[in-house]
Copies of this chain bind each other. A is one copy, B any other.
Amino acid sequence: MRAVSWEDGACVLLDQRRLPAEETYLRLESSIAVARAIGDMVVRGAPAIGIAAAYGAALAYQEEGGDRAGGIQARLRTLLDARPTASNLKWAVTRVRAAAEAATGDLFDAALREACGIHAEDVAMNHAMGRLGADLIDAPCAVVTHCNAGALATGGFGTALGVIRQAYANGRIERVFAGETRPWQQGSRLTCWELARDGIPVTLLTDSAMGQMFRRERPRWLIVGADRIAANGDVANKIGTYALAVLARHHGAKVMVVAPHSTIDPVTPGGDSIPIEERSGDEIWAISGLPAGLPGALVKNPVFDVTPAECIDVIVTDRGLAQHPDCQKISWLLEDDAGDSEKLSS
Contact = CB atoms under 8 A, between A and B. Distances in A.
Contacts of A183: 206
Interface in A233-287: 239-240, 242-247, 250, 276, 281, 284-285, 287
Interface stretch (A65-73, A88-96, A97-105, A210-218): A210-218
A44 interface: no
B290 A21 contact: yes
A289 B185 CA distance: 10
Contact of A305 (B212, B301, B305): B212
A313 B272 CA distance: 30
A1 interface: no
> How big is the A interface, by class?
35 or more
B247 A288 contact: no
Given A182-B180, A182-B182, A297 B192 contact: yes
A267 B183 CA distance: 40
A151 B5 CA distance: 56
Contact of A239 (B206, B239, B246): B206
A203 B302 contact: no
B209 A208 contact: no
Interface centre among A182, A208, A244, A285 (most CB of B within 10 A): A208
Given A211-B305, A212-B276, 12 more contacts: A21-B290, A180-B284, A182-B208, A193-B294, A196-B294, A196-B295, A196-B296, A204-B299, A205-B284, A205-B300, A211-B243, A212-B306
Interface of A: 20-21, 179-183, 185, 188-189, 192-193, 195-197, 199, 201-213, 215, 239-240, 242-247, 250, 276, 281, 284-285, 287-290, 294-302, 305-306
